Amino acid sequence: MEPDARIERAAPDGAARPSEEGEEARWELAEGEEIVPGRHAVTRLGGGHRYDAYLAWDDRLHALVVVKLVRPHLANDRHTLDGLAGEAEMLNRLSHPVILRGFDAVLDGPRPHLVLEHLEGPRLSTLIRRYGRLPAEQLLPLGLQLCSALHYMHGEGVVHLDVKPSNIIMGAPAQLIDLSVALTTEDAAAERHAIGTDGYMAPEQCDPPELGPIAPAADVFGLGVTLYRAAGEERPFSKQPDEPRTARERWPQLVEEPAPLDAPVSDAVRETIMSCLAFDPSERPTPAEVAARLEPELDALPKPRLSKLKPRRSR
């Protein structure tokens, strides 16, 4: 997870220990150790406050998978388990080339977990951090792929609510991951608490009672911030202080206009990205409208050319 705070709605037996002094216990599974029968840990990939992620081998699938494993101290926590069950339900509900697939869910026992598709490729957040802005040849296909996923998801009555660079795996195509805070459109509209990752939340996600209801347009705002960062490296709003004391300090998007996008993109691409950041949800385009504006910009890019190979001289 990126530095932004993300808001989300008896210890088991097994290998677990505190990762550092004062921290909660995390799983420390050795290579080959059985997570559940037929599913074996390969290596730890990372984790967060609630979950550890492991690369694992699944005997039934006969393939590598990612296991999202509830951390030991939360294995009996009803709030965490309800969240895991909700994510499993969303994964079963959705099937799209640009949305991560889920294969199984174990929702009880000492090691509750999800079994997820293993994706090759870096997170978009990693690419931006290491190499800076994406060239248009990468930015525009990424935008179209994310629009495709969100258009489908909204048509299925689901809002993601956490579209951001660290939730995008860059592959062919890119993959939108982490449905842990996704809600049905009905539940999103009824949500009364802030939900999402601070720097990518639409204003109505920050303050649903005052600015809601939360609807699919919230994902378009997250898409806009994501493409803004991918195009220009920076974020459209001021960086929050280390210890924000008010909602306005924590969520500058509530009181600030987005900064102009400083990026080597066409005016049409710049205007499209900025339109996603409209304060009023009704003024944001739909994912299909964003895609319709980006497609001609992709078509207008110079076509890649292959150089004719010259045969080697015989020696």
Residue-by-residue DSSP string for 198-210: GGG--HHHH-HHH
CB atoms within 10 A of CB 245: 8
Structure tokens at 32: 């080959």
**Model pLDDT for residues 79-118, shown as the tens digit of each residue:** 999 999 999 999 999 999 999 999 999 999 999 999 999 9
The answer for 308, left when phi > 0, alpha when psi is -120 to 50, beta otherwise, is beta
CA distance 79 to 81: 6
Instruction: Choose, from 162, 178, 198, 219, the residue flagged as catalytic.
Output: 162
Question: 33 Cβ partners below 8 Å, 6+ apart?
Answer: 15, 40, 41
Model pLDDT, residue 21: 34
DSSP state of 292: H
**Nearest CA among 120, 296, 154 for reference residue 223:** 154
CA distance 158 to 226: 19
Listed as own residue / partner, the contacts of 38-46 with beta carbons closer than 8 Å and 24 or more positions apart are 39/65, 39/67, 39/115, 41/67
Model pLDDT, residue 8: 58
Q: Which domains does the chain have, with CATH numbers?
A: 20-117 (3.30.200.20), 124-299 (1.10.510.10)
Establish whether 4 is a catalytic residue: no
CA distance 9 to 24: 19
For the chain, which residues score pLDDT lower than 70? 1-24, 306-315
Model pLDDT, residue 48: 81
**Nearest CA among 194, 206, 212, 200 for reference residue 176:** 200
- Are 287 and 223 spatial neighbours (Cβ–Cβ below 8 Å)? yes
